[in-house]
Amino acid sequence: MAELESRDTVVLAYSGGMDTSCILVWLIDQGYNVLAYLANIGQDEDFEAARIKALRLGATKVIVEDLREEFVQGFLWPAVQANAIYERRYYLGTSLARPCIARRQVEFARSENAQFLAHGATGKGNDQIRFELTYYALFPEAKVIAPWKIPEFYNRFKGRRDLFEYAKVKNIPLPISPKSPWSMDSNLMHISYEGGPLEDPWVTPNKDMYLRTKDPTESPNQPDELEIEFENGVPVCVTNHVDGTRKDSAVDLFLYVDFIGSKHGVGRDDIIENRFTGMKSRGVYETPGGTILLAAHLDLEGMTMDREMWRIKESLGRQFSEQVYNGYWFSPEGSFVRNCLAISQKDISGTVCVSLFKGHVSIMRRKSLHALYKEELVSMDLPGDYDPIDASGFIRINAVRLKEYSRLCERNGEE
């Protein structure tokens, strides 16, 4: 750990939970002047209680910021535009939140002339990378304190039970009991669960674990139908055809889609994923709003984006997902890919209707003034601007290489 000068100031990414509360006190024990930074990105938290708690534990200053608008506009909407799903299954809820939080943490540290930045991410996971790459990208002179990678810390606290004992000694209020076996992360986009019994991939998650979505088997027996309007690939309005509810501001729109999706059990997933650190991990996720909006956006792209352009854009979307997952939001390649994706969305405007029922998102219909779909052209009843005779030459040209390959196989006695 770095040599301390007189009361060096560190800005800690603080959540109010047990881990970062213990880290806050431990940093004070090491001689640091601790400033706590707590971001509201949609998690279920009593932020005023967390602020008071941090002050009582010894933080000299606590900043609580509402970043929900910034999170939706600056991070979730680009993810929707990219159809961002890591390894085809993970909707990147935590991955998108970390650069949003870390950027503001850096700005707070600069405003307070603090040279140290700290976080509570473990030494095995991805979050340490996301926090620290953001710190170094935006504040190259900063010094990083990551307690779970400091021998004095991780040799003393080998697990959550050791933290509980430390919390008892230091009179740190405990929001959960040692019987809560898994780690959770919550924000507007999702809730994630990992660790504890979930580390055994053969263990089925307890039904009581899920906090956001209703069990699909117990969800309503009547669907909700949402009409989602997009402009340049960004959701701008949602209307519920069942009760007429309409939302058109970014945060309210996302919260409403998430709420209706949760009611119908949409967005549950249980996956094994590849961490950037090289190991595989098991995570269970609830992402109702993101699941719905990405499904609608993907469908609209199918109607409005040229085929060859879509193939390039799909590749860029995969790169976006990997960059976000691996912590490279603030990188030259990250900026380049996001700019390219934004350009690709200039004609992705229109409306998609989805039905939500028993855990499923079903596309019902779609329309757009920018549609490349032409009913007259594709119709089986109308000729359109197309001569079927042309197809024969098209097929023969494309068959040339197949014929030659077949002849080669015959000469070599292969099938």
> Which positions are annotated as active-site residues?
19, 98, 127, 183
Burial class (CB in 10 A: 0-12, 13-18, 19+), 114: buried
* DSSP H helical ranges for 155-249: 160-169
Query: How many CA atoms does the CB half-sphere of 312 hold within 13 Å?
Result: 10
| E strands, 9-60, in order | 9-13, 33-40
Q: Do 163 and 154 form a contact (C-beta atoms < 8 A)?
A: no
Residue found by looking up tokens 């998430």 in the block: 258
For CA atoms 238, 344, 301, 94, the dihedral sign is negative
Q: Do 403 and 397 form a contact (C-beta atoms < 8 A)?
A: no
Please tell me what DSSP assigns to residue 214: P
- The enclosing H or E element of 194 equals strand 191-194
Residues 6+ apart with CB under 8 A from 386: 377
Largest distance between two CA atoms of the chain: 85
Tokens of 174: 């405990």
Q: What is the distance between the terminal CA atoms of the chain, rounded to a whole angstrom? A: 65
